[in-house]
A and B are shown apart, each in its own frame.
Chain A
Amino acid sequence: MKTDTHQVPQGEGKGRTIVLTLVMAVITVVMFSQGKMPQDPKEMIALVLTLLFANTLFFLLLYTGRTDRYRAIYFSTFAVSLIISFVSHMFEARGSMSLSETKILQCEVPFCHLVIPMTLVPMAITKTIIFPGSLLGKYASIASMFVIWIGATLALGRGFCSWVCFYGGLDDGFSRVLKRPVIRNINPKWIYLPFAVLLLVALTAAVYLSPVYCSWLCPFKAVTEFQAVTSTKILIQTIIFVGLFIGLVIVLPILTKKRTQCAFLCPFGAMQSLTNKINVFDVRIDKEKCVKCKRCIQVCPTLSMSEESLEQGCARITCMKCGKCIDNCPKGAISYHIKGTDIPGKRNAYRLLFLFAAFLFLAIFSSHIIQDGIVRVLKLITTGSMIS
């Protein structure tokens, strides 16, 4: 028989939280500093602030038992820092955010993970990477991004999209602007659109040996880099990506409280959804505890919870493991889970294992970007310019 006892997820005890945070602190000090203390005061301040920020959030994650709230703060800071850092780099290197034909021909375009679905088939067939970036050594090289992607995918599956993706924090952040959504009823069929986009961009890239999504659809070009408008075709492409950025990354997330770009467009997200099948972590619903209040369905930012999910006891394949449903379940019926183990089982142990893996990826991947972002802001305050 079900009881009405409020069973929201409980955090770890104070002593245990401190010990675990100390472990994370040691790892992050080593990883963030890479074994040497910076000489420049601004860099030193940035390192200390980043370490304090990361470890405070990790402490709160463990102590309060709330996952999504503190993850989102870190995740959105990461995305904003990326824009500050990346755009500053572009202005230093090229004098603008626009990309010339010369730079493309010189293979100096920074690589990002969204290109990966388009590179796999051509790579298998032709043994070449169809992207004008550098393989090793330079800023945002192809090899480093592939290594991070493979590691994070094995550890987190589509959790990548809530813990590692440096763009995801933008629509995640905008989806939290309003307290209540203005648009409530979204047809769940739209969750299939990213799979359709994936199907087409992967195949067109394989046939034309060109990253079609980057040229035509990627909304994040609006805040990173884009091709200089030199023809009607590029003008149309610019209108499309700016429109998609305003619509899917800013306006719709605010109005719907959903991560609309990630849920309804991103082909990389669709590919990551498929990797959820091989990932050891998933989000499960204890059917004994669930009272079908549907709170999880309302709050899920990617429509990955449905009435069918409640019946089956698991989230849809598109689940990003952000933890929002877990935080909001009034009965504590939803939890992180390790495949093959009992439900609910040792839910706190499963959560801890997942959080350690996910948080480490987020912290380590974001550390230099956040530090650079802080240095740029300090430069702006002290010199009036973000660039050297």
Chain B
Amino acid sequence: MQGFFLGLSSGLTCVAYCTPVLVPYMLGEGKGIAHNFAALAQFLLGRLAGYLAFAFVAWLINLSVLERLESKGLLIGALYIIFSSFLMIYAFFKTDAPCAARSIGHIAGKIKASLLIPAMAGLLSGIAFCPPFLLAMTHAADKGSLSYSLFFFLMFFIGTSVFFIPMPFIGALRRFQALQIIGKMAAGIVGLYYLYAGIIAVVAGVKGI
């Protein structure tokens, strides 16, 4: 469930960044709620494909690098501390985070919105090296098995996707600024959990040495 919560806590922010990608498309097409749901489904499937690809990469990292290390716990703990610190800074003190969706949003603004293929936009927005994503990668790489890695990213995807459901009803997203702040802060609190997990892992790793 940690993947779900990590995704859930950062989901509002994902929605905020993906809105510039999806909303122009939906408004540009102007074919009603049913069509908007179909576009959203394509977008989310693309996003899922992106996440699952990274689940595979996380497993490969574990197989090729982490498994050969003697102080794996120490390294993973240190990564947790670093990425959770990034996450908290991003959540509580910074306004922007690196997210591919933003770049796609800029491109979407320049070209004709209806030309965007939602699935491709979803796939590209899934490649987002934001702090929650980096934490998810670390967590998946830590656990080692391909099935766990895929399941973790699947849950991460479900968590981030919950907030996309109202998107076809675009009118319901008026209070977006507040939702974005709440989402980022929720991600920051999840960062606190990972900081705790990182400290525990580092302490255990140091004791192991």
Q: B176-201 vs A: 1/0 string, CB under 8 Å?
A: 00100111111011100000100000
Among B1, B185, B189, which residue has its beta carbon within 8 angstroms of that of A207?
A: B1
Cross-chain contact B5 with A204 (CB below 8 angstroms): yes
Q: How far is the CA of A189 from the CA of B181 in the complex (A)?
A: 7
Count chain A residues whose beta carbon lies closer than 8 angstroms to a beta carbon of B: 13
Whether A222 sits at the interface, judged by CB under 8 Å, is no
Chain A residues numbered 43-95 whose CB sits less than 8 Å from any CB in chain B: none
Cross-chain contact B182 with A203 (CB below 8 angstroms): no
Q: B158-191 vs A: 1/0 string, CB under 8 Å?
A: 0000000000000000000010011111101110
Whether A200 sits at the interface, judged by CB under 8 Å, is yes
In the complex, which residues of chain A have a beta carbon less than 8 angstroms from the beta carbon of B184?
A: 196
Q: A186-204 vs B: 1/0 string, CB under 8 Å?
A: 0001001101110110011
Whether A150 sits at the interface, judged by CB under 8 Å, is no
Whether B36 sits at the interface, judged by CB under 8 Å, is no
Whether B125 sits at the interface, judged by CB under 8 Å, is no
**Min distance, Cβ A177 to any Cβ of chain B, angstroms:** 27
Q: How far is the CA of A208 from the CA of B4 in the complex (A)?
A: 12
Cross-chain contact B185 with A236 (CB below 8 angstroms): no
* CB contact under 8 A between A200 and B9, given known A207-B1, A236-B196: yes
* CB contact under 8 A between A192 and B196, given known A200-B190, A204-B5: no
Whether B81 sits at the interface, judged by CB under 8 Å, is no
Whether B8 sits at the interface, judged by CB under 8 Å, is yes
Q: Specify the main secondary structure of chain A where it touches its partner.
A: helix
Cross-chain contact B188 with A196 (CB below 8 angstroms): yes
Cross-chain contact A192 with B181 (CB below 8 angstroms): yes
Q: How far is the CA of A200 from the CA of B196 in the complex (A)?
A: 16
**In the complex, residue of chain B having the shortest beta-carbon distance to the beta carbon of A201:** B189
In the complex, which residues of chain B have a beta carbon less than 8 angstroms from the beta carbon of A193?
A: 185
Chain B residues numbered 1-34 whose CB sits less than 8 Å from any CB in chain A: 1, 4-5, 8-9
**Min distance, Cβ B127 to any Cβ of chain A, angstroms:** 26
In the complex, which residues of chain A have a beta carbon less than 8 angstroms from the beta carbon of B8?
A: 199, 203
Among B1, B178, B181, B186, which residue has its beta carbon within 8 angstroms of that of A200?
A: B186
Cross-chain contact A199 with B186 (CB below 8 angstroms): yes
Q: How far is the CA of A362 from the CA of B73 in the complex (A)?
A: 53
* Residue with the greatest number of chain A CB neighbours at <10 A, chosen from B1, B178, B185: B185
Among A192, A199, A203, A204, which residue has its beta carbon within 8 angstroms of that of B178?
A: A192
Q: Give the 7 A-B CB pairs with smallest separation, nearest first.
A: A196-B185, A196-B186, A192-B181, A195-B182, A192-B182, A196-B182, A199-B186
A192-B185, A196-B186, A200-B186 known, 8 other contacts, Cβ within 8 Å: A189-B181, A195-B185, A196-B9, A199-B9, A199-B186, A203-B5, A207-B4, A207-B5
Chain B: residues with CB nearer than 8 A to chain A?
A: 1, 4-5, 8-9, 178, 181-186, 188-190, 196
Chain A: residues with CB nearer than 8 A to chain B?
A: 189, 192-193, 195-197, 199-200, 203-204, 207-208, 236
What are some 16 contacts across the A-B interface (CB < 8 A)? A189-B181, A192-B178, A192-B182, A193-B185, A195-B185, A196-B189, A197-B186, A199-B8, A199-B182, A200-B9, A200-B186, A200-B189, A200-B190, A203-B5, A207-B5, A236-B196
